[in-house]
Amino acid sequence: MPSGRAVFSVPGFRSHRDRGRPVLFITIWPLFALICLGYVLARKGFPDAGFWPAAERINYFLLFPALLVSSLVDAPLGDPQILRLGAAALVVILLAAVGLALARRLFPAPAARFGPALQGTVRFNTYLGLAVTVSLAGDVGIERAAVYLAICVPVVNVLSIMALSEREVLSRPGALVRTMLKNPLILACLAGITLALLGLGLPYGLGTFMELLARGSLPLGLLCVGAALQPRALGRDGLVVGGNAALRLLGMPMLAAGVALVFGLDGVEALVLVVFSAIPTAPTAYVLTRQLGGDGTLMAGLVTAQTLAAIVTIPLVLLVLGYG
């Protein structure tokens, strides 16, 4: 039974091709147009103030997990390129995290501010990353991206919690594990990988059901990203926000490209690694920062600045690195 193969066979996601070669601007601008539309709709109060938090929750707990499961269920997890992609992804994230920890020794910062800085560097906007990947690489891209997420989502969540809570989290490992097991994206990745390893698939119409749920995830997710932007937060910590944006949007993809070469990645696998390193940080980082007592204003500024700058930097980075 097909699972994730037809999820993105909809107008707009795969139609912008020029003799098989993606035209980056034409391919990517509709994704950012959805983000801008979400921002405008939310500021106009349409449909109402309570809609956007509810839409984010239904996407986070239902639609997006369905997308991950349906994409992972047929993934060739034994493919050597897939395994190298997973290893390379971990190396990129851990190198960045170690680099920030070393920089903190030179420029001391409390956890309330170091946490946002680390999240602004290693976390990624899954909705935008998947949308860009499927626009450029189609079904194969979304399958590889789902594997990337299965490996990296737990890692960046653990690193983020550790950075925001200092050593407290190390004294309560059980609480950290419980937090991870409540994350619907992590649970969806575990379910998809289990089904793929067992070869069970999604029989009896479950594949079609999951596909129908998954189709709404990326458009709704991008609208919610726009609704969550907070331009007022850009007025503070301009130097920190700008430096972090440059590190995330320019430094991380260059690091990813270098790691891809070392690991012998090419084609779709290299594209996925670079794309997920070039996209802005996750809007959910703001929620986690507030929950753990971090500097929410700084985190909101990082999310907003990176999302706006990414309109320019993503096509630029992909062109410079040869994906345009």
Per-residue pLDDT tens, the chain, 324 aa: give them. 344 343 333 333 343 344 344 467 788 889 999 999 999 999 999 999 899 999 999 999 999 999 999 999 988 888 899 999 999 999 999 999 999 999 999 999 999 999 999 999 999 999 999 999 999 998 899 999 999 999 999 999 999 999 998 766 666 777 778 888 889 999 999 999 999 999 888 999 999 999 999 999 999 999 999 999 999 888 878 889 999 999 999 999 999 999 999 999 999 999 999 999 999 999 999 989 998 899 999 999 999 999 999 999 999 999 999 876
Q: What is the CA radius of gyration of the chain?
A: 19
Domain ranges of the chain: 17-320
Mapped onto helix, strand or coil, the DSSP state of residue 68 is helix
| CATH fold group of domain 17-320 | Na+/H+ antiporter like fold (1.20.1530)
pTM attached to this predicted model: 0.89
Q: Decide: 154 and 300 in contact? Cβ < 8 Å.
A: no
Distance in angstroms (rounded) separating the CA atoms of residues 69 and 3: 9
Q: Are 97 and 118 in contact (CB under 8 A)?
A: yes
